[in-house]
A and B are shown apart, each in its own frame.
Chain A
């Protein structure tokens, strides 16, 4: 069965681009544009990889991990994506349980390599 990727991102343009990419390489793709939607998606079926944008309209993306941890529905792996690479936000992502933090826009070869690596 193909791995399920959940794209958590409030820009439909970015979500569409990722959907095209992940579908092309054979992943099953779902998306959420808010913290609430992401929690709902991740609890409805197990997620293998969550790609997490940090600034969402209804809160910080890391809130999702807190809630999912309590509910025992954490994805197998989570990669955070951020527009600015500062040490403090990197640290809080790793402390919250993200496997790594990627700087947007992530070159697709690098993104696919990271996903493959963390799903292995």
Chain B
């Protein structure tokens, strides 16, 4: 074998080895994707199958609670009402998982239309008012009376607002403040920035990214004071990103958090 043959064969071998490695890596990626899709489908099926018997339990409990099979005394009524409330909470959690699964696996089709964002914010505020009142929290809207319509999927934006305001209520102590404000950005001010702020316990800078990850709670211990699926912010992120928007948080421990997300405005209607 000549000197030049030996020099030429070494890079060829390396090239082949690299090709084999790339093929192997691609196979692994494909396999992981397939497994992830399977897990998503499984989660979706289980959630759906859990929902049906729970719906039956809730209906039976409501029939008893409302005295349709005979009057109950106050203690019996309270106890059965506990079954209805607990069941409803479980349904809400299952729905949260289903929404997450759909939003994470591109199963969501956006139904975009022009709508008034301030009206929607006021609607979500009033839906959350009873929960906030229990902790003597105020929920204010700071501005937004003169905004052009937002061009987005109204139900999905309502879900994002509901999750952010719900979180603010959960993590703000009695007597605190929650607010929703708007600003505009972009060359033609074509993007709306929605802010949901609170005077709650805040998030450490190291955890800014973590809070948007699925199943993540900054305090994940079994004794943590706030339970939930840990999917609320992951869903909010997915739904905002489906609108090609971004979501982020600015916060200071002990002082509160400000969550922001962007939505496309319809400047033609400005």
Give A contacts to B, CB under 8 Å.
Answer: 11, 13-14, 16-18, 20-21, 24-25, 83-88, 104-105, 107-109
Let me know if A14 and B63 touch, CB within 8 A. no
> How far, in angstroms, from A114 to B69 measured CA to CA in the complex?
21
Mark each residue of chain B from 2 to 16: 1 if its CB lies under 8 Å from any CB of chain A, else 0: 000000000000000
B68 touches A24 (CB 8 A): yes
Residue in A17, A24, A25, A107 whose beta carbon sits within 8 Å of that of B56 in the complex: A17
The reply to whether A88 and B109 form a contact with Cβ atoms under 8 Å apart is yes
In the A-B complex, list the 3 residue pairs whose CB atoms are closest, starting with the nearest.
A105-B55, A13-B56, A17-B59
Which one, A16, A87, A109, contacts B66 given CB within 8 A?
A109
Asked if B48 is an interface residue, CB under 8 A from chain A, the answer is yes
Contacts of A107 in B (CB 8 A): 62
* A25: B residues at CB distance < 8 A: 68
State the CA gap A25–B68 with chains docked (Å). 8
Q: Which of A85, A86, A88, A108 is close to B59, meaning CB atoms less than 8 Å apart?
A: A108
Which residues does chain A contribute within 8 Å of B48, judged by CB atoms? Answer: 83
Tell whether B52 is near chain A: CB-to-CB under 8 Å: yes
- Please list the residues of chain B having a beta carbon within 8 angstroms of any beta carbon in chain A: 48, 51-56, 58-60, 62-63, 66, 68-69, 91, 98, 109, 111, 155
Which chain A residues lie closer than 8 Å to B51 at the CB level?
83, 104
Closest partner residue, chain A, to B49 (CB atom)? A11
Supplied contacts A11-B53, A108-B59, 18 more A-B pairs, CB within 8 Å? A17-B55, A17-B59, A17-B63, A21-B63, A21-B68, A24-B63, A24-B68, A86-B109, A86-B111, A87-B155, A105-B54, A105-B55, A105-B58, A105-B59, A105-B91, A108-B63, A109-B62, A109-B66
25 interchain pairs, CB-CB under 8 A? A11-B56, A13-B52, A13-B53, A14-B55, A14-B56, A16-B56, A17-B55, A17-B56, A20-B63, A24-B68, A83-B48, A83-B51, A84-B98, A86-B111, A87-B155, A88-B109, A88-B111, A104-B55, A105-B55, A105-B91, A108-B59, A108-B63, A108-B68, A109-B62, A109-B66
CA distance A9 to B143 in the complex (A): 47
Asked whether A20 lies within 8 Å of B52 as measured between CB atoms, the reply is no
For the complex, what is the distance from the CA of A88 to the CA of B102, rounded to whole Å? 15
Task: State in angstroms the CA–CA spacing of A20 and B48 once bound together.
Answer: 24
CB distance from A108 to the nearest CB of B (A): 5
Q: How far is the CB of B159 from chain A (nearest CB, A)?
A: 11
Set of chain A residues within 8 Å of B60, measured between Cβ atoms: 17, 20
Most chain A CB inside 10 Å of its own CB: which residue of B59, B91, B111: B59
Give the distance in Å from the alpha carbon of A25 to the alpha carbon of B91 in the complex: 26
Complex-state Cα separation, A88 to B109, whole angstroms: 9
A14 near B52 with CB under 8 A, answer yes
The listed residue (A16, A104, A108) touching B62 by CB distance below 8 A is A108
A61 to nearest B CB, angstroms? 15
Which residues on the B side are within 8 Å of A87 (C-beta)?
111, 155
Residues of A contacting B91 with CB < 8 Å?
105
Give the docked Cα–Cα distance between A105 and B91 (Å): 9
Q: How far is the CB of B105 from chain A (nearest CB, A)?
A: 14
Nearest to B108 among chain A residues (CB) is A86
Which residue of the partner chain A has the closest CB to B51? A83
Q: Which of B55, B69, B98, B109 contacts A24 (CB 8 A)?
A: B69
Chain A residues with CB under 8 Å of B55's CB are: 14, 17, 104-105
Bound CA–CA A17/B58 (angstroms):
9
Separation in Å of the B241 CB from the closest CB of chain A?
A: 19
In the bound complex, what is the Cα–Cα distance between A11 and B60 (angstroms)? 14
Q: A88-B109, A88-B111 are in contact. Are A108 and B56 (CB under 8 A)?
A: no
